[in-house]
């Protein structure tokens, strides 16, 4: 086999770049956890000054700073020997509430790498690797990386897009987040001082001060009985519908929980976007559904099992007793590019 030296060098450059990025990924978390970025953002510093301010060892901080400067994560001034952060680096590395929080993404990536052996094994057996089997870093990283998106958009864009939902919330409406998981959305609403809040689901991990109802199987007939007759002005079910074996029953139960005229905010993967349509046309499956890890021995909660065709969701909503106020698409423009569909609905008398 003949080797083209130029192509080989191109490939090796790429590989060395990838290897450097992978090896250095942990250093971003080191910088975050020890407060190195946060303190360095205040002013340019020499290594021993940064070490003193953060209670760390100069020898380590010195090497860390060199690596960070080589990787473009901090700036180095050869005249003074001082290191600093540009406003852009500080924005992405020190503000957990900013639009992009890079350390969260690195925690997610490093957590995902911990599953390498399980994934390799799954290639041999054909069995799945469940979302719940990931390292804790995946969950915490996900939450920290996506939280700023919720924080930046919830009040600025999403709530105003929902007709009178914000006014209702500000007037003290009670809200239930159904299938809330870690309760990110509820946490944000609490911080903003919104009404009475409840998280419902199988596993529920909501911030202190929010009531919760755990071990509710949202696929079961009559699960709303477990909530004890309470009615809600706003029901939220984000990225849950596609996990359920019985989505119609789910909507019927949501309707039972809705106060008169109550709102339902429903989001789910938009299977009508172009990527999904092409995936179906070419490979016979919608993007995000029945992927390589699909395994029917796997806990259902972790799988996307209901393909939410919009016509069907509309039909189910109407039969369950909801009218659609508006439909929006998130993370991309319109139905063709948005990856998530958001249906804003209002409870009505059943037809």
Ligand X SMILES: C[S@@+](CC[C@H](N)C(=O)[O-])C[C@H]1O[C@@H](n2cnc3c(N)ncnc32)[C@H](O)[C@@H]1O
Q: Which two tokens stand for residue 168?
A: 């209702």
Query: Would you say how long the chain is, in residues?
Result: 351
Nearer to ligand X, 147 or 272 (CB): 147
- Residue 180 touching ligand X (CB under 6 A): yes
Compute the distance between CA of residue 12 and CA of residue 9 in angstroms, rounded to an integer. Answer: 5
**Which of residues 137, 181, 269, 279 is near ligand X by CB under 6 A?**
181
- Residue 219 touching ligand X (CB under 6 A): yes
Annotate 248-316 with DSSP letters as a single string.
HHHHHHHHHHEEEEEEEEEEEE-TTSHHHHHHHHHHSS-TTSS-TT--TTS-GGGS--S---HHHHHHH
Nearer to ligand X, 39 or 216 (CB): 216
Contacts of 274 (CB under 8 A, 6+ apart): 336, 337
Compute the least distance from the CB of residue 149 to ligand X, in Å.
11
Compute the least distance from the CB of residue 93 to ligand X, in Å.
24
DSSP 344: E
- Residue 184 touching ligand X (CB under 6 A): yes
- Residue 239 touching ligand X (CB under 6 A): yes
**Which of residues 94, 238, 270, 273 is near ligand X by CB under 6 A?**
238
**Which of residues 50, 218, 257, 258 is near ligand X by CB under 6 A?**
218
- Residue 145 touching ligand X (CB under 6 A): no
**Residues 292-331: x where in contact with ligand X by CB under 6 A, - otherwise, as a string:** ---------x------------------------------
- Residue 217 touching ligand X (CB under 6 A): yes
- Residue 202 touching ligand X (CB under 6 A): yes
Compute the distance between CA of residue 244 and CA of residue 192 in angstroms, rounded to an integer. Answer: 31
Compute the least distance from the CB of residue 303 to ligand X, in Å.
9
Nearer to ligand X, 184 or 233 (CB): 184
Q: Which two tokens stand for residue 311?
A: 């016509």
Annotate 172-238 with DSSP letters as a single string.
T-EEEEET-TT-HHHHHHHHTT-SEEEEESSS--PPTT-EEE-S--TTSTTGGGGG-S--EEEEEEE
Which value, to the nearest 10 degrees, does the dihedral of the CA atoms of residues 261, 206, 150, 201 take? -60
**Which of residues 47, 179, 262, 279 is near ligand X by CB under 6 A?**
179
Q: Which residues bind ligand X (CB under 6 A)?
A: 179-181, 184, 201-203, 216-219, 238-240, 243-244, 301
């Amino acid at each position: 086999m003949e080797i083209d030296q130029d192509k080989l060098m191109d490939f090796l450059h790429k590989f060395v770049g990838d290897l450097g990025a992978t090896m250095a990924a942990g250093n971003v978390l080191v910088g975050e956890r020890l407060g190195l970025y946060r303190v360095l953002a205040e002013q340019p510093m020499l290594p021993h000054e940064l070490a003193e301010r953060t209670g760390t060892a100069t020898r380590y901080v010195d090497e860390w700073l060199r690596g960070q400067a080589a990787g473009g994560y901090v700036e180095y001034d050869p005249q003074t020997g001082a290191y600093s952060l540009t406003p852009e680096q500080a924005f992405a590395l020190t503000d957990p509430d900013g639009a992009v929080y890079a350390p969260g993404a690195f925690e997610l990536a490093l957590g995902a790498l911990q599953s390498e052996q399980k994934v390799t094994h799954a290639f041999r057996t054909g069995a799945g690797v469940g979302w719940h089997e990931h390292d804790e870093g995946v969950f915490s990283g996900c939450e920290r990386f996506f939280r700023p998106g919720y924080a930046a958009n919830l009040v600025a864009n999403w709530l105003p897009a929902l007709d009178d939902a914000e006014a209702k919330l500000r007037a003290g409406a009670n809200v239930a987040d159904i299938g809330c998981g870690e309760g990110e959305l509820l946490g944000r609403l609490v911080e903003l001082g919104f009404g009475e809040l409840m998280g419902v689901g199988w596993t529920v991990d909501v911030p202190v001060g929010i009531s919760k109802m755990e071990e509710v199987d949202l696929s079961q007939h009559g699960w709303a009985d477990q909530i004890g007759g309470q009615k809600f002005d706003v029901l939220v079910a984000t990225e849950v519908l596609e996990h359920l074996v019985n989505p119609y029953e789910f909507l019927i139960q949501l309707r039972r929980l809705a106060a008169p005229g109550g709102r339902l905010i429903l989001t789910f993967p938009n299977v009508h976007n172009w990527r999904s349509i092409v995936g179906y046309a070419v490979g016979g499956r919608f993007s995000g559904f029945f992927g390589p890890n699909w395994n029917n021995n796997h806990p259902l909660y972790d799988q996307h099992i209901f393909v939410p065709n919009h016509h069907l969701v509309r039909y189910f909503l109407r039969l369950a007793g909801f009218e659609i106020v508006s439909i929006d698409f998130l993370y991309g423009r319109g139905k063709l590019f948005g990856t998530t569909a958001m249906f804003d609905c209002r409870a009505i008398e059943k037809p």
